[in-house]
Amino acid sequence: MQDNKFAKRKIIVPYSEINQHINAGKQAYVFIMTHSHQTDQQVLAELWHRQFAYLGILGSRRKIKVLQQNLAETISKQHWQSIHAPIGLATNSQTPMEIAISIAAEVISQTNASERKP
Protein backbone atom coordinates (compact mmCIF):
# COMPACT_ATOMS: atom_id res chain seq x y z
CA MET A 1 0.00 0.00 0.00
CA GLN A 2 1.35 3.37 -0.97
CA ASP A 3 1.66 5.91 1.83
CA ASN A 4 -0.72 8.87 1.75
CA LYS A 5 1.28 11.94 2.77
CA PHE A 6 -1.97 13.73 3.68
CA ALA A 7 -3.14 11.06 6.12
CA LYS A 8 -2.71 11.73 9.82
CA ARG A 9 -2.42 8.03 10.54
CA LYS A 10 -2.76 4.63 8.93
CA ILE A 11 -4.60 1.84 10.70
CA ILE A 12 -4.38 -1.75 9.48
CA VAL A 13 -6.88 -4.02 11.22
CA PRO A 14 -9.24 -6.83 10.25
CA TYR A 15 -12.55 -5.56 8.85
CA SER A 16 -14.32 -7.17 11.81
CA GLU A 17 -12.54 -4.66 14.09
CA ILE A 18 -13.16 -1.53 12.00
CA ASN A 19 -15.95 -0.33 14.32
CA GLN A 20 -13.41 0.17 17.12
CA HIS A 21 -11.26 2.49 14.99
CA ILE A 22 -13.80 4.77 13.29
CA ASN A 23 -15.00 7.81 15.22
CA ALA A 24 -18.68 8.59 14.79
CA GLY A 25 -20.33 12.00 14.94
CA LYS A 26 -21.41 15.03 12.93
CA GLN A 27 -17.87 15.53 11.59
CA ALA A 28 -17.37 11.92 10.42
CA TYR A 29 -17.66 11.07 6.73
CA VAL A 30 -17.29 7.36 5.98
CA PHE A 31 -16.88 5.91 2.49
CA ILE A 32 -16.94 2.14 2.14
CA MET A 33 -14.89 1.01 -0.84
CA THR A 34 -12.92 -2.12 -0.12
CA HIS A 35 -11.50 -4.60 -2.64
CA SER A 36 -14.63 -6.80 -2.78
CA HIS A 37 -18.40 -6.89 -2.34
CA GLN A 38 -17.99 -9.35 0.52
CA THR A 39 -15.71 -7.08 2.53
CA ASP A 40 -17.86 -4.02 1.75
CA GLN A 41 -20.75 -5.96 3.25
CA GLN A 42 -18.68 -6.88 6.30
CA VAL A 43 -17.66 -3.26 6.91
CA LEU A 44 -21.23 -2.02 6.45
CA ALA A 45 -22.50 -4.65 8.89
CA GLU A 46 -20.03 -3.29 11.45
CA LEU A 47 -20.82 0.42 10.95
CA TRP A 48 -24.45 0.87 9.81
CA HIS A 49 -25.87 1.48 13.29
CA ARG A 50 -23.51 4.37 14.14
CA GLN A 51 -24.22 8.07 13.59
CA PHE A 52 -22.10 9.70 10.89
CA ALA A 53 -22.44 12.93 8.95
CA TYR A 54 -22.22 10.69 5.88
CA LEU A 55 -22.08 6.93 5.38
CA GLY A 56 -21.81 5.71 1.81
CA ILE A 57 -20.86 2.71 -0.29
CA LEU A 58 -19.14 2.78 -3.68
CA GLY A 59 -20.69 0.43 -6.22
CA SER A 60 -23.29 -0.20 -8.86
CA ARG A 61 -27.02 -0.22 -8.21
CA ARG A 62 -26.90 -3.99 -8.74
CA LYS A 63 -24.23 -4.37 -6.05
CA ILE A 64 -26.24 -2.23 -3.64
CA LYS A 65 -29.36 -4.32 -4.28
CA VAL A 66 -27.39 -7.48 -3.45
CA LEU A 67 -26.07 -5.86 -0.25
CA GLN A 68 -29.61 -4.85 0.74
CA GLN A 69 -30.84 -8.41 0.20
CA ASN A 70 -27.93 -9.94 2.09
CA LEU A 71 -28.32 -7.55 5.04
CA ALA A 72 -32.15 -7.43 5.06
CA GLU A 73 -32.34 -9.06 8.48
CA THR A 74 -29.69 -6.71 9.88
CA ILE A 75 -30.49 -3.31 8.35
CA SER A 76 -34.10 -2.13 8.09
CA LYS A 77 -35.45 -0.43 4.96
CA GLN A 78 -35.82 2.74 7.04
CA HIS A 79 -32.15 2.65 8.02
CA TRP A 80 -31.09 2.14 4.39
CA GLN A 81 -32.58 5.59 3.73
CA SER A 82 -29.72 7.16 5.71
CA ILE A 83 -27.01 5.21 3.85
CA HIS A 84 -25.77 6.77 0.60
CA ALA A 85 -25.73 3.80 -1.73
CA PRO A 86 -24.37 4.02 -4.26
CA ILE A 87 -22.33 7.10 -3.35
CA GLY A 88 -22.40 10.07 -5.69
CA LEU A 89 -25.11 12.06 -7.42
CA ALA A 90 -27.17 10.17 -9.99
CA THR A 91 -25.49 11.69 -13.06
CA ASN A 92 -24.93 8.50 -15.08
CA SER A 93 -21.20 8.99 -14.51
CA GLN A 94 -18.95 6.66 -16.51
CA THR A 95 -15.32 7.69 -16.08
CA PRO A 96 -13.37 7.68 -12.80
CA MET A 97 -13.18 11.49 -12.96
CA GLU A 98 -16.95 11.83 -13.41
CA ILE A 99 -17.59 9.41 -10.55
CA ALA A 100 -15.18 11.32 -8.28
CA ILE A 101 -16.86 14.63 -9.11
CA SER A 102 -20.34 13.19 -8.49
CA ILE A 103 -19.18 11.88 -5.09
CA ALA A 104 -17.64 15.23 -4.15
CA ALA A 105 -20.81 17.03 -5.26
CA GLU A 106 -22.99 14.75 -3.12
CA VAL A 107 -20.80 15.30 -0.06
CA ILE A 108 -20.88 19.08 -0.58
CA SER A 109 -24.66 18.97 -0.98
CA GLN A 110 -25.06 16.82 2.15
CA THR A 111 -22.74 19.07 4.18
CA ASN A 112 -24.50 22.26 3.09
CA ALA A 113 -27.92 20.77 3.85
CA SER A 114 -26.76 19.69 7.32
CA GLU A 115 -25.35 23.12 8.09
CA ARG A 116 -28.69 24.77 7.27
CA LYS A 117 -30.57 22.66 9.82
CA PRO A 118 -31.19 24.44 13.13
What type of residue is 15?
Y
Q: Helix (H, G, I), strand (E, B), or coil: what is residue 90?
A: coil
Q: In this structure, are residues 102 and 88 in contact, taking their beta carbons and an 8 Å threshold?
A: yes
Domains and CATH numbers, the chain: 15-87 (3.40.50.720)
Residue 1 pLDDT > 80, yes or no?
no
How many Cβ atoms from other residues are within 10 Å of residue 57's Cβ?
Answer: 22
Confidence of residue 5 (pLDDT cuts 50, 70, 90): confident
More confident residue, 37 or 93: 37
Calpha distance 110→29 (Å, rounded): 10
Calpha distance 83→30 (Å, rounded): 10
pTM of the model: 0.86
What type of residue is 36?
S
The whole-chain average pLDDT of the chain stands at: 91
Residue 20 burial by Cβ neighbours in a 10 Å radius (0-12, 13-18, 19+): exposed
pLDDT value of position 94: 87
Confidence of residue 118 (pLDDT cuts 50, 70, 90): low
